[in-house]
Chains A and B, each alone.
Chain A
Amino acid sequence: MTEAPPDDSAEKSPVPTPDLPVVEEIQAAILDGLLAVPQRKAEGKPVVWTSVVIPQAIFHAMGVPAMYQELLGGYVSIFRLSPKYCQAAEASGLPRDVCAVHRCAVGVACGDDRDYFFEQTFVPPDLVVGTNFPCISESRSCLHVAERYRCPVYVVDLPANSWGESIPEHAIAYGAEQLRGLVRFLEGFGYRLDLDRLKHQVALTKRVNTLMAEIDRLKSAVPSPMRAYDNVIATTAPLALPIDERLVGYFERLRDELADRVARGAGVVDHERLRLLWIGIPPLCDFELLNYPEKHGAVVVKNMLEFLTGFTLDPDLIDPDRPFESLAHAQIASPANPLIQTTIDYFVRAARQYRADGVVSVVKRTCGFIPAMQRMIKDAIQRETGLPSVIFDLDGVDQREYDAAATQEHLDTFVETLLARKGRN
């Protein structure tokens, strides 16, 4: 084990500082939470390598310590270590053309040289759980980790939503069965499901999602009371933290802090001129870029990560008394799940609710599914609301592919075009 690195706090940390006090606490808690898993392994608990997209209520209810590939991969990029870990993943066989988040994660798991933070947060897993939601990488990259550590694998197979708003019973039943199958898989490693505890976790999931819906309404106020970076961190909280009263408390405080700002008419920029929707993966290695448009008086008021990671669910669909069925139902109905109509509906509603002026739609070269839907979303939003979109390359996860100057140029240009039209109209 390497020593802790020398104190270099004089240097600017790559992790941006949130604006809202509660979000700053959340960010610190997320980082602390990642450190907890190795201790559980040391206690003899089998550890799972898995995805944030899988309903975490199940892991929490069964006391399963989990390493989340998207979080580890994400922090690789945030800490600006993606070149090293992507190269490690590529050296282990993963092609450079697959998702950069997953390459970062596999680089942590399968590389031989981990930095201090990842030494403290990663341990060889004993089991692997993947899912096919919302994309192929979620069920495939973990196979490389399973192969390396000879782990048994379970994949939660969630049906694509080919039915629209009304999800049929047979799909819900199958999704629920997949989650029950996960429980049985975990029970094979000595974990036991306490159904009451699961129901409690699901009740808390519902509570958190209800709070998030309230927060969503507050966030849509003009001027925007929440910075884009804060928004992403807050949305990450339920994925990275235990679903408990502390998490509920964070969201209650967030709601209250935003309500206060809204009541005072306090916005995050002095003179808000534009409101933007964001589609695609933001540059994790330059995470504060989400706030960059603020220099022009433009705020990114809604972004895709709010639903892409699967936790943000319709609280009306969540029923603690039917935990498996309702979690499956809520995920199948999520805008992250194909087919496209629910995604389009989400963004059209958001465009109206948030009184957006334009849509920034970024293309990560190694993403396998978003680039095939950006045109459809652009056209639908244009048709339904008249809002223009700009689509451009932005791979800010694998830093080797990141072009900060070009990204800023495209954002500047888009903002200028929107302002020019707004000024004329």
Chain B
Amino acid sequence: MNTSSRQGILERVRSATGAAAPARIAEAYAALPRDYVRQGTMTHEACLDRMIERLREYDAEVVETAPEQLLAAIGAQLEASGKRVFVAPEGLPSEWLIPGFDWKVDRGLATAEIEAADGVVTAAFCGIADSGTIALHHSPAEGRRVLTLLPDWHLCVLRASQVVETLPEYFSRCPQPPALATYISGPSATADIEMTRIKGVHGPRFLHVLLVHDDSIF
């Protein structure tokens, strides 16, 4: 590495701006205005409706289910997809691997095996209703990034308690910054040809969200 370029750039930058002490920088950072909406104002129910509405606008399929119906709902989705071979992240609850389908559990699956699968089932970290976004932090139940990328069909299990209204609420739910994250807002899309939105370019063309009402006791 050319250390003189590093030095040269940093010298030019610092002579342009002056060098403030770290404590001063932290102080200035803390004083930055954050007057935008951080906390949503909707009831949780309205927030879930918003999430569903936004997901459907993106042409994602949404099915709601009670916790005790979850396994049946997963089974019904898999059945309705007409597909047989599914990838599962290593940490996916084992009961979600509904019998009768060909499951490839990711204990270091080769790319070709993932590419050959018809679909994938994962959990999620958070749902953001404002924009219909699903945040994956790629925990063991959410899987490596490639799992939700190559298969053309993605069933994502999202718990109602994971859904927040605003993007800042998502950030305040992160105990610490994730090393990996993918925010998914609908299936992959492009509008590069005459601004016509085409669903499904390289990422999964079909996004199904199973919304589990785990907070229905309230």
Answer whether A and B are interacting partners.
Answer: no
Could you tell me which B residues sit within 8 Å of A by CB distance?
Answer: none
Could you tell me which A residues sit within 8 Å of B by CB distance?
Answer: none
